[in-house]
Amino acid sequence: MQPFSAVPARLLLAPQDLRTADATNAADIYGGRFLFSGHLVETQGRSPFELKAVHEDWQRELHSFGWLRDLRASESQIARQNARALVEDWIRYSGRWHEIGWEAAVVTRRILSWLAHSPFILQDGDHDFYRSFVKSLARQVRYLRQTINETEDGVERLQAALAIAAACLSMAGQGRFARQSIRRLEHELNRQILPDGGHISRNPRALIDILADLLPIRQAFVTQGLEMPPAMLQSVDRIMPLLRFFRHGDGALAHFNGMGSTPGDLVATILAYDDARGAPPVNAPHTGYQRLSGGSSVVLIDTGPAPALSVSGDAHAGCLSFEFSSGHHRMVVNCGVSPRSNPLWRKVSRSTAAHSTATIEDTSSCRFLSDRPFGQLLGAPILSGPVNVPVEREDDLAGSRITASHDGYLSEFGVIHERDMRLSGDGTVLDGIDTFNAVTSVDPECRYAIRFHLHPALRSSLIRGGSAVLLVCRDGEAWEFEAPGSDLSLEESIYLSDVYGHRKSEQIVLTGALLEAPSAGWQFRKTATARLSRRGTSDFDDLGELPLED
């Protein structure tokens, strides 16, 4: 049997790359202009792999080689030659070691990219390049096999197992290493994919990232005529319905626990592999979410405890937060995740105040590990948070109701936050009551704030003397919000998950004292379609990107 350290004789197949390509980037790359992670670097005739002191995220994207799909999409001989030259440069300058280029997550992405685009890279190449390419690929796979237990738990480790399995299926003469890689992949799938199809991190984005790599490998088994591992079949069958579970009417996924802007093209490609295509499930009890639907309205609610410390690096303090959409209009949202790798914005996005739920004294319901106020927050795990989150659900012809509570504020403030929500069967009324049940003595000065972050596409205004809020969608669909007996205000907010950057938005805020007003009832009610004035239409045009300093 051929030892793994030897150079494989040949590549047998190339797993498909499901991620969206942009052929317009090929000309920039050929011209030495590399725009990665918001940073533009012009190489001035040098190889990008020679450059020093460039932003770390830029280097990660460069060394991951995901941009090969853009070169391939251009379908030109020049792009193929350019791709081959850049691969040669990487082998020359970084093939033995590079501080960022050999991070496990970067190695994983590079292996998958090289495998997927190997026909494009190798076509018209000579034998020496072919051997050099396969030799380097084998070395990277061997390194990943040796270091997989040191990778970050969760999606990163599962993707590493997927990359190793893909390489063993794609390269000739792997023998027992292929069997070992498949067993390891099965172990990670069984451990990380929950019975309802969710991921142990509770991040909806994890489902997209896993399926984008898992589906091509599943197809590789079919191509090779190999028996499909049971865990692979079961994982795909479980994840697909839950991916639909998290979707709003416009196709976007709800912003929970690290989910940012939705890659619509990739999600559409993934869902094309869904054989069932039935109605999404109404609850995900193992992952900790509930879904209410009526008419064209959808409500998604976070009803789960904080994930385990080892997989909570992207988790948010958003227990009992919800998102609400009507048809293609997203109404109430969480602020989401900023595309900027900035510790301050990372802290903001993970806080309870950035979610449509209740806070007490502007304190988050989870406590994050941090070495200093705004340092080390990217990937900082949750040290403590809600543990007990009981949930009750009722469904009948009149609508659906969820009652849930969490103990994230019990130790510090002595209260249990309970949220009772009901969506009418026709989807035109969403009622809610937030209650703060005192378990121990409560400081009479403590106050709460219940936040409803509004999508930036909405126009909102106070009506009826400031006792209610009118929400108007772009097409004139209108909703009213009221909370009788509560102090109501309309304040500024920020939407972090927009694909074009941070956008200014607004939030409805209800405030009160824990002892004086321990509960607050509220309601969203659909009204007759509003007539947009010329001024009102202009207001929508002004909802642009909010320029904010990093």
Express each pLDDT in 140-166 by its tens digit: 999 999 999 999 999 999 999 999 999
pLDDT at residue number 531: 55
Domain contains 523: no
Q: What percent of the chain has pLDDT over 70?
A: 93
Tell me how far apart the terminal alpha carbons of the chain are, to the nearest angstrom. 55
pLDDT at residue number 529: 67
Domain contains 153: yes
Using DSSP bridges, classify how beta strands 468-472 and 39-42 pair: parallel, antiparallel or unpaired: unpaired
With a cut of 70, say whether residue 2 has pLDDT above it: no
Give the model confidence (pLDDT) of 298-354 as tens digits. Answer: 999 999 999 999 999 999 999 999 999 999 999 999 999 987 667 788 889 999 999
With a cut of 70, say whether residue 371 has pLDDT above it: no
Average pLDDT of every residue of the chain: 91
Side chain identity at residue 35, one-letter code: L
Whole-angstrom CA distances from 221 to 146, 168, 193, 225, 352 are 24, 11, 20, 6, 43
Domain contains 230: no
- DSSP H helices, 193-245, are 204-224, 230-245
User: What is the C-alpha separation between 52 and 55, in angstroms, rounded?
Assistant: 9
Q: What are phi and psi of 536, to 5 degrees?
A: -60, -40
Least confident among 14-28, 217-231, 310-324, 455-469: 217-231
Note whether 321 and 315 are within 8 A (CB): no
Give the model confidence (pLDDT) of 74-88 as tens digits. Answer: 989 999 999 999 999
pLDDT at residue number 378: 45
User: What is the C-alpha separation between 461 and 506, in angstroms, rounded?
Assistant: 10
Domain contains 132: yes
Domain contains 77: yes
Note whether 304 and 389 are within 8 A (CB): yes
β partners of residue 493:
505
With a cut of 70, say whether residue 135 has pLDDT above it: yes
Domain contains 315: no
Apex 156 CA angle, 150 and 161, nearest 5:
80
Domain total of the chain: 1
With a cut of 50, say whether residue 494 has pLDDT above it: yes
The burial of 16, by beta-carbon neighbours within 10 Å (0-12 exposed, 13-18 middle, 19 or more buried), is given as middle
pLDDT at residue number 534: 39
Residues 6+ apart with CB under 8 A from 507: 451, 452, 453, 454, 490, 491, 492, 493
Greater pLDDT, 2 or 228: 228
Greater pLDDT, 378 or 382: 382
Least confident among 355-359, 372-376, 456-460: 372-376
Query: Using N-to-C axis directions, what is the helix angle for 77-94 and 127-147, rounded to 10°?
Result: 50
With a cut of 60, say whether residue 197 has pLDDT above it: yes
Domain contains 513: no
Give the model confidence (pLDDT) of 526-543 as tens digits. Answer: 997 655 543 444 444 443
With a cut of 50, say whether residue 123 has pLDDT above it: yes
Q: Which domain, by its residues, includes 122?
A: 8-163
Query: Using N-to-C axis directions, what is the helix angle for 204-224 and 264-271, rounded to 10°?
Result: 50
Stretch 173-199: mean pLDDT, rounded? 93
Domain contains 472: no
